[in-house]
Structure 1
Amino acid sequence: MEREEELLLKNLGWKGKGLIRSACDAETNSSSHQDSSDDELSKDRKKEGSLRFYKPKFSYIFCDMDGTLLNSKSQITPTTAEALREALSRGVKIVIATGKARPAVIDILKMVDLAGKDGIVSEVSPGVFLQGLLVYGRQGRQIFKSNLDPNISREACLYSLENKVPLIAFSEGRCLTLFDHPLVHSLHTVYHEPKAEIMPSTEHLLAAADIQKMLFLDTAERVASTLRPYWSEATKSRATVVQAVPDMLEIVPLGTSKGNGVKMLLDHLGVTAKEIMAIGDGENDIEMLELASLGIALSNGQEKTKAVADVIGISNDEDGVADAIYRYAF
């Protein structure tokens, strides 16, 4: 049919394309354009081992731990560890911003050889810990510390004893509790927090050290249905409740947050928000993601966190941090 059209047009002196050829070419061009678009999409993600050929877009990457850098088994995978090493080798500084205590973060990163002077975290590196209640600047010097109201701490201890809900009091590098419980053990064995010291009474616990935050451990259902409603009301205008993971509820000093901790550290370092990329998943990461030039929420994150993010990345069980580094940081 196309051949017949060509002969007819030739006899008529027509030098352009016929309708059939034009239609075929249009389809071919459309297909070619789609293939090209697919190629461009795949090229957005740099290949592992190739970052030495690219210029960093950001000076700093601020990264959460639980649900972000750590997968659902509370591990940093080899793929993610390698991406972090590549970024470091290109001069990008990676700063941890987490609800965890600093000793816990150091222990976790030691497992993948990323702790110490030339790694991501050490006793002499900057970082934001305990939901922004402890902030360390240059040479690991403490630049901010905020303690929980002792009256709130006392009320939390009494609630824990009366309702048999496990409670952990965080005091810099120490964890204190009032009774033994499997969930208390899991905070150490699974989440790598310092092993909890069992105090003989509320008075002993409160006298042992300054407390930055209290953390209740329960099922996700009980946290949502009982603990959060109760403590949101009980601490109104005196403290703030926040969640990093569904089965834990944290009580922190009023007016503090991980986001505020990140702001303080940036001011201390003389770094602008335009220079940073941030990656997180929980509601406690919202301010940090909003602050950053590029805020990335992993797909396993909470809906309210994903709603404020510039980009939604793949999940922590798919090496979401590694993918974000290879796709957006260079």
Structure 2
Amino acid sequence: MKRYQDFFLISDIDGTLANNEHRVSEKNKEAIADFVAQGGHFAVATGRTQRNVVPYMTGLTINAPCILYNGGALYSWQEKRFLKTKHLESRELAGFLRHCIALFPQMCIEVFTHEQLYVITDPANVDEHMIREKQEFTYAALDDILDKTWIKIILCDSHENLLASRAILSLFHLEDKTNNFFSAVTYLEIVANHVSKGNMLGELLKIPGFHGKKIIAAGDFQNDIEMLQIADCGVAPENAQDDVKKIANVIAVNNDEDLIHDIVYRIIPTLL
């Protein structure tokens, strides 16, 4: 019997697995490899896509399906294919997005599909984070992508404008048709109703081989809360939002101090 064969560790990337230099430390990689070698399962749960997650996956030992698009998709890293996706109804959102474009001229709106990331706002507003990370994207008019299959939307603007945008969802009767959350102070994400990292984790655990595992989940922001709540042990790094720390079972070191190493060698042994 291997030491960690009954455990499944799943981690957010930004602010959790990755440090503030946007890298996964060698100590974290080594800890994950050791955890998997001793029978554990490891995966990531992130708002990123199967493409822009790639820089963080080099050297990681992944042996379980990963949650992408903040719960919009379950993806097999080994097989390079989607196992499950949950879609938005693009035409139901069109009026809301047109309203946002008119009301907030500085906003950047990003629409994510399986194949492509589209920016449907003025090129002058493009999100600097996308440029810095060299994300591939295409400018498009909203009407030209309505027949695409949408997985999620990101509104990028000041927090004040995003709060106002969130309130506008109800004017278009979308509050019961979508889910929304902040993944950063300047990012409001919109996904299909009931979509979240936590919901998709529940779907993952129905897969044979994962049902009944003891779940350790780590995350730092609002979009991680549900995932931490349904885990057997929810871990928040010291740098996490206060709301995340309040619901976590354990507060660990911050993401600059090899958080996953701390979980594997200090926290999980207490759960054996």
Give yes or no for TM over 0.5: yes
1:274–1:292: 8 Å Cα contact kept in structure 2? no
2:219 maps to 1:280: yes
Residue 324 of structure 1 is aligned with which of 263, 266, 270? Answer: 263
Distance 1:152 1:176 in 2: 18
Find the counterpart in structure 1 of residue 139 from structure 2: 198
Write 1 or 2 for the structure with the bigger share of helix.
1
Task: Kindly state the Cα deviation for residue 172 of structure 1 after the two structures are TM-superposed.
Answer: 2.0
Write 1 or 2 for the structure with the bigger share of strand.
2
1:298–1:314: 8 Å Cα contact kept in structure 2? yes
2:132 maps to 1:189: yes
Task: Kindly state the Cα deviation for residue 215 of structure 1 after the two structures are TM-superposed.
Answer: 0.3
Identify if the C-alpha distance between structure 1 residues 223 and 263 changes in structure 2 by more than 3 Å, giving closer, same or farther: same
Unaligned runs of 5+ in 1: 1-53
Find the counterpart in structure 2 of residue 89 from structure 1: 37
Say which SS state the counterpart of residue 22 (structure 2) adopts.
coil
Distance 1:183 1:266 in 2: 37
- How many residue pairs match? The answer is 263
1:168 partner letter: E
Unaligned runs of 5+ in 2: none
2:232 partner letter: S
2:183–2:223: 8 Å Cα contact kept in structure 1? yes
2:178 maps to 1:230: no
1:103–1:173: 8 Å Cα contact kept in structure 2? no
| Higher mean C-alpha displacement, 271-280 vs 94-103 | 271-280
1:175–1:195: 8 Å Cα contact kept in structure 2? yes
Distance 2:23 2:52 in 1: 12
Say which SS state the counterpart of residue 176 (structure 2) adopts.
coil
Distance 1:183 1:325 in 2: 39
2:152 maps to 1:213: yes
2:220 partner letter: D
* Structure whose CA Rg is larger: 1
Find the counterpart in structure 2 of residue 64 from structure 1: 12
Find the counterpart in structure 1 of residue 198 from structure 2: 259
Task: Kindly state the Cα deviation for residue 130 of structure 1 after the two structures are TM-superposed.
Answer: 0.8
| 1:3-22 deviation line (CA, Å, top 9, x unaligned) | xxxxxxxxxxxxxxxxxxxx
2:237 maps to 1:298: yes
Say which SS state the counterpart of residue 261 (structure 1) adopts.
helix
Identify if the C-alpha distance between structure 1 residues 228 and 73 changes in structure 2 by more than 3 Å, giving closer, same or farther: farther
Distance 2:124 2:267 in 1: 43
1:206 partner letter: L
Distance 1:103 1:205 in 2: 20
2:260 partner letter: V
Equivalence map 1:1-330=2 (5 Å): 55-56=3-4, 58-110=6-58, 113-114=59-60, 119-120=61-62, 126-136=65-75, 139=79, 141-162=81-102, 163-164=104-105, 165-178=107-120, 179-181=122-124, 183-190=126-133, 194-199=135-140, 201-207=141-147, 209-224=148-163, 226-231=164-169, 234=172, 235-272=174-211, 274-330=213-269
| 1:282-326 deviation line (CA, Å, top 9, x unaligned) | 222122112211111122222222222111112223322322222
1:238 partner letter: K
Distance 2:80 2:265 in 1: 28
Identify if the C-alpha distance between structure 1 residues 169 and 69 changes in structure 2 by more than 3 Å, giving closer, same or farther: same
| 1:133-185 deviation line (CA, Å, top 9, x unaligned) | 11135845533211112234313431343222101001124210123246434
Distance 1:233 1:302 in 2: 29
Task: Kindly state the Cα deviation for residue 250 of structure 1 after the two structures are TM-superposed.
Answer: 0.5
1:148 partner letter: L
Task: Kindly state the Cα deviation for residue 249 of structure 1 after the two structures are TM-superposed.
Answer: 0.2
